[in-house]
Amino acid sequence: MVEESIQREAIEAAVHAVAERIEAEKTYLTELDSAIGDADHGANLHRGMQAVVEAIEDTDEEDPAALVKLVGRTLVSEVGGAAGPLYGGSIMSASTEFAEGIDTASTVAFAEAYLAKVEDRGGATVGDKTMVDALTPAVHTYKKSIEQDELPPLAALAKAVDAAERGVAFTTPIRASKGRASYLGWRSVGHQDPGATSTLYCLEAILDVATEYLDGEIDRDATSPTVPDESAEADGSPEGEE
């Protein structure tokens, strides 16, 4: 487990990266939402993430669970609509998984708790044309990559992002059965879901930050064994993975 100050730095970096990505995609997300919703998804999330950036900058809090909870609380109060409680409330609820700090196991627990809360709050499952369609394959892929395939967290996250991307593509040809888009019935077919799309952007931004923070750690583990002759094979850690 890395020090709390480094964890705070990583959370801050992730918040900035997500905020920048949402800002860059604000118009596109709103365009997607204008086709099957009420044209506010980009603006909603942008406003929310700007508030999150300010909230994180304004606090001296170092505890990762408290910081992540603050992210969720700020989104709930600033975003509104369907996405506010789904994103924010689920982050708040899942933040307790970081009570002992951020490590590989707690990120898996966080991802699972976040998905469970989104499903619980929104009542959507895969195939309803919502953010759940991007999130579910991403979370399952992340967990399996770490727990069964024993990939390093960064490789697992990269696979999760790929899975989310396929999930987003899957939302286009299907009919919406939850949220505002469901009011359109069959007319929602042929349009990509905005919430699934923003979920992918958040994951991509987090992957960028994780690459910055974890590359060093993976390289250190892989290239600086304490006992050069033995440990490379003895610890059995998968090497050469992307």
For 135-172, letters b (16+ CB in 10 Å) and e give bbbbbbbbbbbbeeeebbbbbbbbbbbebbbebbebbe
By CB under 6 A, is residue 200 in contact with ligand ADP? no
Q: What are phi and psi of 225, to 5 degrees?
A: -65, 145
The listed partner (Mg ion, ligand ADP, none) that binds 175, CB under 5 to 8 Å by sort, is none
The listed partner (ligand ADP, Mg ion, none) that binds 131, CB under 5 to 8 Å by sort, is ligand ADP
**What's the min distance (Å) between Cβ of 3 and ligand ADP?**
36
Over the window 2 to 41, marking each residue x when it contacts ligand ADP by CB under 6 A and - when it does not, the resulting string is: -------------------------------x---xx-xx
Between residues 10 and 135, which has the closer beta carbon with respect to Mg ion?
135
Between residues 166 and 180, which has the closer beta carbon with respect to Mg ion?
180
Among 22, 71, 124, 163, binds ligand ADP (CB under 6 A): 124
Residue 133, SS3? helix
Among 11, 14, 32, 37, binds Mg ion (CB under 5 A): 37
Question: Which tokens go with 112?
Answer: 């699972």
By CB under 5 A, is residue 122 in contact with Mg ion? no
By CB under 5 A, is residue 193 in contact with Mg ion? no
Q: Considering only CA atoms, which of 76, 75, 192, 183 is closest in space to residue 130?
A: 192
For residue 100, give every residue at least 6 positions away whose Cβ sits within 8 Å of its Cβ, in sequence order, or none: 1, 106
Q: Where are the alpha helices (DSSP H) in the chain?
A: 4-36, 41-58, 64-79, 83, 90-94, 104-122, 132-147, 153-171, 194-223, 228-234
By CB under 5 A, is residue 72 in contact with Mg ion? no
C-alpha torsion 22→23→26→29, nearest 10: -10
Between residues 49 and 124, which has the closer beta carbon with respect to ligand ADP?
124
By CB under 6 A, is residue 216 in contact with ligand ADP? no
By CB under 6 A, is residue 131 in contact with ligand ADP? yes
SS3 annotation, 96-118: HHHCCCCCHHHHHHHHHHHHHHH
Write out the residues near ligand ADP by the rule CB under 6 A: 33, 37-38, 40-41, 44, 81-83, 86, 118, 122-124, 130-132, 178-180, 193-196
Write out the residues near Mg ion by the rule CB under 5 A: 33, 37-38, 40-41
